[in-house]
Amino acid sequence: MKKAGGRYEPLSVGTTTSMRMDRFTGGLLERYGVRAVIGKGGLSGESLKQFERHGGVYLAITGGAAALETTQIEAIEAVWWEDLMPECLWQFRVRGLGPLTVAMDSHGGNLYADVKAEARRRLEEILTRLEKRA
């Protein structure tokens, strides 16, 4: 971010690893009415329970796409806790943000767990085939 004329301009805005903020998910959903969390890498099973309880979703954004994400910011509408820079809280107005994937949802769906389970299943299948060849 660059401050010019009392306003911030985005230079490069990328998403942090979500697990760092996992402990705040329940409070954001319950106290502030947040219904969508955008990040990368997923959140814990406890956060998934909070999405189910409050009707929220976790939207995964592509890691390493900061240049693209920055172009999708139309305006910086507010900033809180500036003294925590770069960890302060930003409110952006965006257009066409994404691509985003619903990775965790209010019905208990968890794309990360699904992919991990499928990878384990395939690994077992591959190991079984290799054992038969030996």
CA separation (Å) from 22 to 1, 26, 37, 80?
24, 8, 10, 19
Q: Is 127 exposed, middle or buried (0-12, 13-18, 19+ CB in 10 A)?
A: exposed
Q: In the chain, where are the structural domains located? A: 2-109
Q: Taking the model in full, what pTM does it have?
A: 0.84
Check pLDDT > 80 for residue 112. yes
Check pLDDT > 80 for residue 10. yes
Q: What is the pLDDT of residue 31?
A: 96
Task: Give the burial string for 13-32 (b: 16+ CB within 10 Å, else e).
Answer: bebeebeeebeebbebbeee
- Look up residue 62 and give its two tokens: 């592509």
pLDDT digits (tens, 9 = 90+) for 47-82: 999 999 999 999 999 888 888 999 999 999 999 988
Instruction: Give residue 19's pLDDT band: very low, low, confident or very high (50, 70, 90).
Output: very high
Q: What is the pLDDT of residue 6?
A: 83
Which CATH number describes the domain made up of 2-109? Answer: 3.20.130.10
Task: Please report, rounded to a whole number, the percentage of residues in the chain having pLDDT higher than 70.
Answer: 100
